[in-house]
Homo-oligomer: A and B are copies of this chain.
Amino acid sequence: MAENRQSTGPVTLSLEGGRRPERADAARNRRILLDTASRIVRDEGVAALSMESVAAAAGVGIGTVYRRFGDRAGLAYALLDEQERDFQAAFISGPPPLGPDAEPAVRLRAYLDRYVDRLAEHAELLATAETHRYQSGAYNVQRRHLAMLINQIDPQLDGPYLADALLAALSGQLYLHQTTEAGMSVERIRAGIAQLLRGIVDG
């Protein structure tokens, strides 16, 4: 499903060109809803984040929540959106090792490393958002970034496929399983990714 139904305004990834600006009441509601959702996650955990609970706590109808965020996964994405933008901005125009002034292989490492940081910090929210991962704009941006780096390192490789594969290994659901069920440490996960990269970085 789309990020936002008729998405306007300065929202989720700004993939759309500048459309008509968001109406004032809509903008106000968006902020109220995000603040409310954020508070629910902080106080009661991601599991307590239901569309109905957010609507009730924010004092709006449930239809409004759906209009704004499309579905539960969309709401979770919206909560992660700010960091997502920072991440992307750092990649596109920030300093090395993530930004464009570093070697592709270095950037790739840095990118995945930062991604693991995000997982460690927001695994539950990411896992929730992942319900419709492949339909999200965020996924496609990440995928493009990775594919580009991989092909800068080695044009012979199938960048888009390998991007999918790497991102699959960085799924929030898998991360949760690895850390809470399988007893893996974050360091082990980082090291594992490094091993996975050997075939890509070292040709």
Q: Which residues of A contact B (CB under 8 A)?
A: 133-134, 157-158, 160-162, 164-165, 168-169, 171, 173-174, 177-178, 181-182, 184, 188-189, 191-193, 195-200, 202
Contact of A181 (CB < 8 Å), options: B134, B168, B184: B134
Q: Please, how many angstroms separate the alpha-carbon atoms of A181 and B192 in the complex?
A: 29
- Contact partner of A157 (CB less than 8 A), chosen from B133, B134, B193, B195, is B195
With both beta carbons as reference points, the residue of chain B lying nearest to A177 in the complex is identified as B134
The reply to whether B162 and A196 contact each other, CB–CB distance below 8 Å, is yes
State whether B169 touches A189 (Cβ < 8 A): no
**Which of B174, B177, B178, B195 is the one whose CB lies under 8 Å from A162?**
B195
A46–B165 Cα distance when bound, in Å, is 25
Q: Which residues from B are CB-within-8-Å of A193? A: 165
Q: Which residues of B contact A164 (CB under 8 A)?
A: 169, 174, 178, 182, 192
Taking A162-B192, A164-B174 as given, write out 15 further A-B residue pairs in contact, using a Cβ cutoff of 8 Å, ordered by the A residue number.
A134-B177, A158-B188, A158-B191, A158-B192, A161-B184, A161-B188, A161-B192, A161-B195, A164-B169, A164-B178, A165-B196, A168-B168, A168-B169, A169-B169, A199-B200
- Listed from nearest, the 5 A-B pairs whose CB atoms lie closest are A199-B199, A198-B199, A161-B192, A134-B177, A165-B169
